[in-house]
Structure 1
Amino acid sequence: MWLCTGSTVNAEIGAGSGLDWLLIDGEHAPLSLESIQQQLQVIATYPITPVVRAPFNDTVTIKQYLDLGVQNLLIPMVNNAEQAEAAVAAAHYPPRGVRGVGSALARGARWNRVENYLTDASKYVSVTVQIETAEAVENVAGIAAVDGVDALFVGPSDLAASMGLIGQQGHPDVVAGVKRALEAGRAVGKPVGVNAFDPKLASQYLDEGIDFILVGADVAMLARGSEALATKFIEERTGAASAGQERASY
């Protein structure tokens, strides 16, 4: 599930839930580097895999994320093989990549307590790139084939928007894009994931062999859960059918 609040308490609750993985979202959530590091520190005590999404495919940002201890990167809006190669280069030290060296200063190397970190750092890093535009779907085979891209993750919301179908994540054309990415990943032996908050659609993707999936978010669960409380204990008891609309107004 997504972690979007920046709350270390929410991160710990999610980490102990029994889920397989958590996504700390640096793209659409107001998270600082310090906040991400604190969440990673909390999650580290639990048997769950944290993934962190960078705000964009940027060499400096990726360097900072890796230095603060991110091991599993998710890079958004990767539309072609060249952009995928840039993400991979940013995640690795020379000669493989262009990551700046600051291991003595950073949690990623445990402040130089990880033996041979500079030569072995690539062993600790995975790079997953997001397929979330029609252009990316067209180029997905080339993206998947990039050496150093460890996995693909499809973002149906942006994919739908790029197709002129905003808000229609379950549209057949969007679903077809997800399947095309899945096929591209299978062709090169790389896992493919997807975001699907609709339980029916999530089950469909799982039945079709998707490798990993996001099915909820801390903020969405709190929003829907609090609304359900208001419906049950206010609207149903008082007949205030318009209360929900009033809550949603600005």
Structure 2
Amino acid sequence: MLFPSLKPALRGNQPLDLIWLALGSVPLVEFAAHAKPGALVLDLQHGLWDRMQLEAAVGAASGRVPVIVRCAENSHAAIAHALDAGAASVLVPLVESVDDARRAVSAGRYPPFGSRSAGGVRPLLAGVDAMLAADREVAIGLLIETVQGIERIDEIAAVSGVDYLFIGTGDLSLSRGTADAEVIERDCERVLHVARTHGLPCGIFTGEAGAARRAFANGYRMSVSANDIDMVKQGFLTARERACGAL
């Protein structure tokens, strides 16, 4: 494996704090990695990352911190895009069925375990044997973020090759048609329970450090302690308030 694997942390019992990055800034990735979180998430579904930025970001961070890539979609091309850059894990969006889960797992594995195509600049650096060794360390995460995904969570979690489940709370609220905390919490608790039943770590998107801490206390293994959009936005707002608020 060229870069740190996520799998040892997934096998452990310690909380895994995540920093979520969407702005497409490689320098921000370096700052985030310097904070030594459990892992970084590069959001290719809604973020501003292009292919060259992704390659540079993984290179900047992965010597110190495992990198998870939230793929743009559940397709062979999108998953290969992330893994060829050297990501330790892919977080595959909008998984709503067993077929979706199987497609994600297959796209993330080389034959005979899957259908991932061999290639990419980083995977080819050390040759075929190193590629196959790295393949064993790739972690496949599934984003559960719709009502359909919640309703089929038992079957999804049972798919062989899935390494963890992750709840996308924002999209789940949209899918439910409500942001009612009690309704969304029931959905989240159902996913958490099923994940535990199948021996899978379960993560959840949280907006800030306090919410992440509460998620860990409630049994989630992964949560988001910070994201670049909110950190930058709040930093500017706070600085201006301190400079001009009393004038």
Which letter does structure 2 place at the counterpart of 1:237?
A
Say if 2:27 is the partner of 1:14.
Answer: no
Asked if 2 retains the 8 angstrom alpha-carbon contact of 1:67 and 1:106, the reply is yes
Q: CA deviation at 1:42?
A: 0.6
- Deviation of 1:157 after TM superposition, in Å, equals 0.4
Match of 1:23 in 2: 41
Structure 2 residue aligned with 1:222: 232
Deviation string 1:25-61 (CA, Å, 9 cap, x unpaired) is 1111111111111011111232x22111111101112
User: Partner of 2:84 in structure 1?
Assistant: 67
CA distance in 1, matches of 2:246, 2:131: 63
CA shift, 1:91, in A, is 0.7
Note closer, same or farther for the CA distance 1:100–1:45 as it changes in structure 2 (3 Å cut): closer
Structure whose CA Rg is larger: 1
CA contact (8 A) 2:66 2:87 kept: no
Partner of 1:142 in structure 2?
A: 155
**Against the structure 1 CA distance between its residues 207 and 89, is the aligned structure 2 distance closer, same or farther, given a 3 Å change threshold?**
same
Q: Does 1:127 align with 2:144?
A: no
Distance 2:243 2:236 in 1: 11
Distance apart, 1:100 and its partner CA: 1.4
Q: Would the aligned equivalents of 1:8 and 1:42 in 2 still touch at CA under 8 Å?
A: yes
SS of the residue corresponding to residue 124 of structure 1 reads coil
Aligned to 1:88: 105
The unaligned stretches of length 5 or more in structure 1 are 239-250
Closer/same/farther in 2, CA of residues 228 and 101 from structure 1, 3 Å limit: same
**1:187 paired residue among 169, 172, 197:** 197
Selected match of 1:50 from 46, 58, 67 = 67
SS of the equivalent of 1:56 reads coil
Instruction: Give 3-state SS (helix, strand or coil) of 1:129's partner.
Output: strand
Structure 1 residue 198: deviation in Å? Answer: 4.8
Q: Which residue of 1 aligns with 2:122?
A: 107
Which position in structure 1 is the counterpart of 2:246?
237
Superposed structure 1 runs of 4+ greater than 2 Å apart: 117-122, 198-204
The normalised TM-score by structure 2 is 0.87
Whole-angstrom CA distance in 2 between matches of 1:119 and 1:200: 40
Q: For residue 215 of structure 1, report the CA deviation from its aligned partner.
A: 2.3
* Secondary structure of residue in 2 paired with 1:215: strand
Q: Which residue of the partner structure matches residue 246 of structure 1?
A: none
Query: C-alpha distance in 1, partners of 2:209/2:32?
Result: 19
| 8 Å CA contact 1:92, 1:121 repeated in 2 | no
The equivalent of 2:14 in structure 1 is: none
Deviation of the 1:114 alpha carbon? 4.5
Query: Aligned residues, how many?
Result: 229
The correspondence for 1:152, drawn from 160, 165, 174, is 165
Residue 120 of structure 1 aligns with an amino acid whose one-letter code is: A
Q: Deviations over 1:61-95 (max 9, x none)?
A: 21222222122111011011110000001111222
Distance in 2 (CA, whole Å) between partners of 1:148 and 1:114 is 24
Task: Name the SS for the 2:165 alignment partner.
Answer: strand
On the 8 A contact 2:123/2:131 being kept in 1, the answer is: no
Give how far 1:131 is off. Answer: 0.4
Query: Do the aligned residues in 1 keep the contact of 2:43 with 2:71 (CA within 8 Å)?
Result: yes
Identity value in percent? 27
